[in-house]
Structure 1
Amino acid sequence: MNLTPQQRIELHGFNNLTKSLSFNMYDICYTRTKEEREAYLEYIDEQYSAERLTTILNHVSDIIGAHVLNIASQDFEPQGASVTLLVSEGPVENASNESFEESPGPLPESVVMQLDKSHITVHTYPEYHPDEGISTFRADIDVSTCGEISPLKALHYLIRSFDTDIMIMDYRVRGFTRDKNGHKLFIDHEISSIQNYIPDELIDLFDMIDVNVYQEHIFHTKCKLRNFDLNNYLFGYTKEKLNQEEIKEITESLKMEMDEIFYGKNII
């Protein structure tokens, strides 16, 4: 199937394809003491409270042109939050042929798309290593749409909404729809990589790996921040307060944490 941006598939009935984007982000910090760790977790809970996460997901809903039907949100003790939005099809008059293009999606002020029944969820998981001073914050976001538009159009905004060291993204198209002649369609748009939905200026910041199963319509991309500045991983102080041995030890510990998350396995 080779579609140009001007072409649309004429369907028999409703587009029943389900398109799911799972976006996982990780923020890593070095916290030397119990007090620093507690302060970091308090900061994370404030930065990514259920209220702020609701705002982010509402913007995602705007980007994909959805009406919010219901919102369920919860801040958890001692930390973490969850938000779920149930959404339905938005106005169709703003639908765009950009739906078929492999290109980064808009930010919230530029809404040009539509979708049908869908849900958007986010869950956060702050955690820490009991002995080695590593604190890690993870956010899991899922955007699932049923209809023409791919949730990948929300990826650009999601990346800019989180301060992330590592991103792991999965996109899959499920089910089938039928064209006007009854022929089954298991995907309705061209896609070669999730990376094509990320702006170049963001791609330049990360090392990226793709693992794609094209015949199954499964796409996987993971990203690790390319440049390492220790000051970005210290909470409440800078490396000038550390000696060279401490700098070396902390740097190695942080880089190992990032590599283990990125490669999905324990290095030692």
Structure 2
Amino acid sequence: MELTAEERIELHGFNNLTKSLSFNLYDICYTRSKKEREAYIEYIDEQYSADRLTNILQHVADIIGAHVLNVAKQDYVPQGASVTVLVSEGPIVEVPTGTYEESPGPLPDNVVLQLDKSHITVHTYPEYHPEEGISTFRADIDVSTCGEISPLKALNYLIHSFETDVMSLDYRVRGFTRAKDGHKLFIDHDINSIQNYIPDNIKETYDMIDVNVYQEHIFHTKCKLKEFDLNNYLFGYSKDKLDPKEVEAITEMLTTEMDEIFYGKNIANSILQ
């Protein structure tokens, strides 16, 4: 049973529905030497340190209306970081009206609603290939909530918090809660696509595909940057320092890397000679 904004159903106890958002993002860079690769990894580890990631997740908690109970964070050697935030809030006895309009959520400094017994995690994976000249940064973020608010409300802010070339987004509603008359509720809001929670100006810059299983309340969206400025992918210099053949070859390598991540399969590699 899906609730509309006009309906107001009194629940039997706490809303036990679990809503989970998995947000995987990739940032890609061309690094032509060992020195550049090491400098890129150092930059990523500084840019997305455990402290900065903790700050991002605390903003996520604010956006979804959560009270932070505990934070565990760790910077790893030689690279990468992890943060886990446990959050909680008092129970809500009714499904509120007007909550589930499909639209991008706020950027930080807005508290939307309350939720209970939830967690937010992030793990980062900077890596590079020693020969092919491509360095990739991946961040995996999970926002899991128990209660009436969807973690999708934090998606807009998360997208703005990272430099993202490719995104893979998964959203699922699990379990059920009960109305006071005993009727099971397997979802308490309308949704037809994760894309409805992404701002139009962001959607215009990405190619997107959906794979949704509506009857199982499973939603999947993949996004790949349509166009890019090569200068943003060179570490320590600009493309005017390269000859046209190098520009073409590097552009092809970056495009192939994005395509392989987006489609989830290997494509014939272009090697810069």
Q: Answer whether TM exceeds 0.5 for this pair.
A: yes
Deviation of 1:75 after TM superposition, in Å, equals 0.3
Aligned to 1:52: 52
| CA offsets 1:156-203 (integer angstroms, 9 cap, x no match) | 100000011111100000001111211111111000000001111111
Give distance in 2, aligned partners of 1:56 and 1:130: 31
- Stretches of structure 1 that go unaligned for 5 or more consecutive residues are none
* Cα RMSD for the two superposed structures: 1.5
Deviation of 1:37 after TM superposition, in Å, equals 0.5
List aligned pairs for 1:16-31, cutoff 5 A: 16-31=16-31
TM, length-normalised to structure 1: 0.96
Deviation of 1:112 after TM superposition, in Å, equals 2.0
Aligned to 1:132: 132
Aligned to 2:148: 148
Give distance in 2, aligned partners of 1:90 and 1:255: 47
Deviation of 1:35 after TM superposition, in Å, equals 0.4
| CA offsets 1:110-152 (integer angstroms, 9 cap, x no match) | 2121111100000000001121100000000000000111100
Classify 1:96/1:203 alpha carbon distance in 2 versus 1 (closer, same or farther; 3 Å): farther
Aligned-partner residue type, residue 201 of structure 1 = N
Give distance in 1, aligned partners of 2:195 and 2:2: 20
**SS of equivalent residue, structure 2 residue 212:** strand
Aligned to 1:213: 213
Aligned to 1:242: 242
Give distance in 1, aligned partners of 2:8 and 2:248: 56
Classify 1:148/1:91 alpha carbon distance in 2 versus 1 (closer, same or farther; 3 Å): closer
Q: Does 1:70 align with 2:70?
A: yes
User: Do the aligned residues in 1 keep the contact of 2:23 with 2:141 (CA within 8 Å)?
Assistant: yes
User: Do the aligned residues in 2 keep the contact of 1:66 with 1:90 (CA within 8 Å)?
Assistant: no
- Stretches of structure 2 that go unaligned for 5 or more consecutive residues are 269-273
Give distance in 2, aligned partners of 1:136 and 1:118: 30
**SS of equivalent residue, structure 1 residue 36:** helix
Q: How many residue pairs are counted as aligned between the two chains? A: 266
Give distance in 1, aligned partners of 2:188 and 2:252: 45
Give distance in 2, aligned partners of 1:97 and 1:159: 27
User: Do the aligned residues in 2 keep the contact of 1:31 with 1:235 (CA within 8 Å)?
Assistant: yes
Identity of aligned residues (%): 78
Deviation of 1:99 after TM superposition, in Å, equals 2.4
Aligned to 1:198: 198
**SS of equivalent residue, structure 1 residue 10:** coil
TM, length-normalised to structure 2: 0.94
List aligned pairs for 1:76-225, cutoff 5 A: 76-89=76-89, 97-225=97-225
Aligned-partner residue type, residue 223 of structure 2 = C
User: Do the aligned residues in 1 keep the contact of 2:2 with 2:185 (CA within 8 Å)?
Assistant: no
| CA offsets 1:36-72 (integer angstroms, 9 cap, x no match) | 0011111000100000000000000000111111100
Aligned to 2:36: 36
4+ residue runs of structure 1 moved beyond 6 angstroms? none
Give distance in 2, aligned partners of 1:26 and 1:228: 14
Deviation of 1:98 after TM superposition, in Å, equals 4.5
Give distance in 2, aligned partners of 1:69 and 1:247: 50
Aligned-partner residue type, residue 186 of structure 1 = F
User: Do the aligned residues in 2 keep the contact of 1:96 with 1:112 (CA within 8 Å)?
Assistant: no
Give distance in 1, aligned partners of 2:181 and 2:237: 66
